[in-house]
């Protein structure tokens, strides 16, 4: 888990990278940018806000032969080895980005290369390299007094509430390609940023395994539990699965299945489904790992505990404890109406 609250921008260099395919060039600043208190505060909010709001999906720099051949990895090594030479390294990073900016959809923009200190990653203080890019320009109005009137001046600039692209390269796990976080609000050219420039692959850490295993379980519930039983059991299975993750520090697959699979006949189905679908989630060989609490919290927020009925009625199972659904929600069949029904028990209605 990353905490950027106490992070300091030690160095920042700003360059402009055009679209190489369109004949646009690259502008490299001669000197690093001189920060003051006002610009520091604005830029920290602009750079770091997306990382506070986005689910933490970690990557690592890679290369199909060896990470040593990854150009950004070489530059990161150079910068971490000698932060005082960050401006020269920033020029190389901007040039590397320019070389990858050759697709017609890629927009020109400003590139900010920063050296960061005081980053808290997994409760340890580390240094990091921040690379950010602003692309989309927005119209805004300025006003100028002209004798007895106010004139409107239309100008263009960037919206500092929305960073277009950014990545943080943390000075940990050097031999394995460092640990990397990335954000990209413009999905039309994600391949250019993640694959061509950064050249990263997902980092299979505990957060990755926790998140992906729960995604796998969610699809198992939809593809197997729902057809075999009903929507209520699909929801209950996912509640039991998430609660198992929430109350345990470590995951062991056999214990998990024995606890959450109320219908033992579905255990072989689960194992078969894992063989078939596991590679999609990179969990085909995963059966033991330490559980990442944040990934569990993120998953809980995304799981929809709602039963949608064809009579335009929704039943929301709004609880953490799955035993409530089994105790207070009962499904049956009405012979007279030839319809299913849900019977809900309660003591009193709660006020909104």
Q: What is the DSSP string of 209-250?
A: HHHHHHHHHHHHIIIIIHHHS-HHHHHHHHHHHHHHHHH-SE
**What is the distance between the alpha carbons of residues 70 and 141, in angstroms, rounded to a whole number?**
43
pLDDT at residue 159 tops 60: yes
pLDDT in tens, 4-41: 999 999 999 999 999 988 889 999 999 999 999 999 99
Q: Which three-class secondary structure state does DSSP give residue 84? A: helix
pTM above threshold 0.75:
yes
Average pLDDT for residues 222-245, to the nearest whole number?
A: 88
User: Tokens representing 225?
Assistant: 């539990």
Q: Which two structure tokens, joined as six digits, stand for 325?
A: 């659904």
276 vs 346, residue with greater confidence: 276
pLDDT at 5: 92
pLDDT score of 43 more than 90 = yes
CA 164 vs CA 1, 103, 119, 135, 182: distances in Å: 22, 17, 22, 6, 11
C-beta of residue 206 within 8 angstroms of C-beta of residue 290: yes
Which pLDDT score, from 0 to 100, does residue 122 have? 86
- pLDDT confidence of 326, banded at 50, 70, 90? low
What share of the chain in percent tops pLDDT 70? 96
- How confident is the model at residue 50, as a pLDDT? 92
Does 236 have pLDDT greater than 70? yes
Contact 61, 67 (CB under 8 A): yes
Please tell me the distance from the alpha carbon of residue 300 to that of residue 313, in angstroms, as a whole number: 23
Mean pLDDT of 164-193: 89
Ramachandran quadrant class, 192 (left: phi over 0; alpha: psi -120 to 50; beta: rest): alpha
| The pLDDT of residue 323 | 63
Assess whether pLDDT exceeds 70 at residue 320. Answer: no
- At 322 the pLDDT is 56
Report pLDDT for 190: 65
Rg (CA), the chain: 26
Q: What pLDDT score was predicted for residue 299?
A: 80
């Amino acid at each position: 888990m990353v905490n950027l609250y106490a992070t300091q921008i030690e160095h920042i260099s700003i360059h402009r990278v055009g679209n190489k395919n369109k004949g646009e060039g690259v502008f490299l600043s001669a000197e690093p940018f001189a920060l003051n208190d006002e610009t520091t505060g604005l830029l920290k909010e602009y750079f770091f806000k997306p990382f506070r709001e986005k689910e933490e999906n970690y990557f690592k720099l890679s290369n199909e032969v060896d990470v040593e051949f990854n150009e950004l990895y070489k530059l990161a090594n150079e910068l971490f080895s000698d932060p005082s030479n960050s401006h020269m390294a920033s020029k190389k990073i901007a040039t590397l980005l320019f070389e990858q900016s050759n697709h017609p959809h890629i927009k020109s923009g400003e590139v900010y290369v920063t050296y960061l200190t005081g980053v808290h990653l997994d409760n340890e203080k580390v240094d990091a390299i921040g690379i950010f890019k602003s692309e989309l320009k927005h119209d805004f109005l300025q006003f100028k007094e002209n004798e007895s009137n106010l004139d409107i001046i239309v100008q263009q600039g960037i919206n500092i509430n929305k960073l277009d692209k950014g990545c943080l390269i943390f000075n940990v796990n050097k031999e394995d390609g460092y640990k990397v976080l990335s954000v990209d609000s413009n999905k039309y050219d994600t391949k250019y940023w993640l694959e061509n420039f950064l050249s990263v692959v997902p980092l299979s850490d505990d957060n990755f395994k926790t998140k992906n295993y729960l995604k796998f379980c969610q699809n198992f519930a939809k593809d197997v539990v729902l057809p075999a039983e009903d929507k209520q059991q699909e929801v209950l299975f996912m509640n039991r699965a998430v609660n198992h993750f929430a109350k345990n520090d470590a995951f062991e697959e056999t214990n998990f299945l024995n606890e959450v699979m109320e219908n033992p006949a579905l255990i072989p189905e689960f194992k078969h489904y894992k063989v078939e679908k596991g590679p999609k989630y990179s969990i085909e060989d995963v059966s033991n790992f330490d559980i990442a609490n944040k990934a569990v919290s993120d998953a809980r927020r995304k799981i929809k505990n709602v039963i949608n009925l064809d009579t335009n009625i929704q039943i929301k199972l709004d609880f953490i404890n799955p035993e409530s659904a089994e105790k207070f929600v009962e499904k049956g069949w009405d012979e007279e109406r030839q319809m299913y029904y849900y019977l809900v028990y309660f003591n009193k209605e709660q006020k909104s």
